Amino acid sequence: MHKSNKSIAGYHLLMILSSVDGEFAPEEGMLVQQYLADEFPFKMNLDNELETIALLQPEEWKDHFEFHGRCFLEDS
């Protein structure tokens, strides 16, 4: 994986947190996207990011979360 900027890393973190019930619900994803649109001043295309997240197996979530947590921290 390549390093993500703060907003992309934040998206990954929030989406994984929203899946603690075992699924990625579309309405939760829309709330996360609206939050990012409100908080970050530039336009982001999150389609590729959502695809990456959707393809993760539950056993991969922890490593993926930790990776993007480090990216978020480094970019903060």
* pLDDT score at 66: 96
Q: Domain range spanning residue 45?
A: 6-75
Domains in the chain, number:
1
Counting Cβ atoms within 10 Å, is residue 75 exposed (0-12), middle (13-18) or buried (19+)? Answer: middle
Would you say residue 1 lies in a domain? Answer: no
In a domain? residue 57: yes
Please give the C-alpha separations between residue 42 and each of 5, 8, 48, 70, 73, in angstroms, as whole numbers: 12, 12, 17, 22, 20
Kindly report the pTM of this predicted structure: 0.80
| pLDDT averaged per 10 residues in sequence order, the chain, 76 residues | 86 89 83 83 80 90 95 92
